[in-house]
Amino acid sequence: MNATTKKTIPELVGRKGFGRSNAPKTSSKGTAPSNERPKKISMVTAYDYPTALLADQVGMDMILVGDSLAMVVLGYDSTVSVTMEEMLHHAKAVRRGAKNAVLVGDMPFGSFQTGPEETIRNAVRFLKEAGMDAVKLEGGQHQASIARALVNAGIPVMGHIGLLPQLVSQTGGFKVQGRDAAGAQRILEDARALEEAGCFSIVLEAIPDRLAGLITRSIHIPTIGIGAGPDCDGQVLVFHDLIGLYDRFTPRFVKKYAQAASLISEALSDYKAEVEAGIFPGPEHSFTIKDEVLEGLYGGDK
């Protein structure tokens, strides 16, 4: 599988690795068990054409048009404000950039709370208007029936449990979830309810690593971790966090693979300084005109 191979949901689900313990898998050729560890699933968010193109070109398995768009691109204070129309606008641009990754549209707050009919209508818009392959929605047991309604309507659904950014004002901020016995038990049951509802995968956000490992080994669909340790079947990060372009708030679980903010800032101040000093544009960035053409104009440039 390389960057030019079209990814599919069944292929990614087939890479379920049962966490680090990696229970032997039956080989595709027969019944002999194979100890080969499936390749972990890579996922990143993207919100526009150029970043989707880049993610797709490196062979990212899945691209999430996340509602984190609200904060990292649109400058809102939380993810609650972003609308269906805004999500679709960005999802369409991502579709134009990505040809091979599985694309997941994030159901924004308010798009799946008012009953199955409106939820299905909104999810269908992600698939039909924006060309997404699947949708993601936040919530565990209390959203399982909505997830099931979507799956029954033929829409692939990714669950999202643990820290739910859409509910932070209710739950008291961006905090690690499932550290006590009751919380951990609830999250495990959330995962089971979503698997039972027919989700093809579940995002585990900001939960202890060993709880994520236990959940990963307890269900048969891939877990995608963000702040959930190494034992998930895959990982997701927010694009702007991983390239170092969003400095308002950086969660502990983020690894910055680049310092894009300082790189861009340096380029912008170099440009500004060169414009002010008359250095840019130089001859190599300018277009010429023949003397006789110029001279023919109102007697030339006096």
17, 19, 66, 178: which one binds ligand KIV (CB under 6 A): 66
101-135: b (≥16 Cβ within 10 Å) or e: bbbbbbbbbebbeeeeeebbebbebbbeebebbbb
Find the binding residues for ligand KIV in span 219-278 (CB under 6 A): 226, 236, 238
Q: How far is the CB of 285 from ligand KIV (least distance, A)?
A: 38
Residues contacting ligand KIV: total by CB under 6 A:
12
Smallest Cα–Cα separation from 12: which of 162, 224, 238?
224
Distance CA(267)–CA(264), nearest Å, equals 5
6-40: b (≥16 Cβ within 10 Å) or e: ebebeebbebbbbbeeeeebeeeeeeeeeeeebeb
Find the binding residues for ligand KIV in span 86-105 (CB under 6 A): none
Q: Does 195 bind ligand KIV (CB under 6 A)?
A: no
Find the binding residues for ligand KIV in span 131-190 (CB under 6 A): 160
Stretch that binds ligand KIV, among 30-38, 66-74, 85-93, 123-131 (CB under 6 A): 66-74
55, 102, 203, 245: which one binds ligand KIV (CB under 6 A): 203
68, 100, 111, 216: which one binds ligand KIV (CB under 6 A): 68
56, 61, 86, 106: which one binds ligand KIV (CB under 6 A): 106
Neighbour tally for 161: CB within 10 Å? 28
Residue 205 annotated as catalytic:
yes
**List of residues 6+ apart from 232 with CB closer than 8 A:** 19, 40, 204, 212, 213, 216, 222, 223, 224, 225
Stretch that binds ligand KIV, among 12-20, 60-68, 142-150, 242-250 (CB under 6 A): 60-68
Q: Which is nearer to ligand KIV, 19 or 66 (CB)?
A: 66
**H/E element, 285:** none
Q: SS3 for 141?
A: helix
Q: Which is nearer to ligand KIV, 142 or 302 (CB)?
A: 142
Question: Token pair of 106, please?
Answer: 């994030």
Tokens 């134009």 -> residue: 96
In the set 86, 138, 195, 205, the catalytic residue is 205
Q: How far is the CB of 155 from ligand KIV (least distance, A)?
A: 17
Helices (H), 219-290: 239-242, 260-276
Q: How far is the CB of 33 from ligand KIV (least distance, A)?
A: 33
The residues that are catalytic are 205
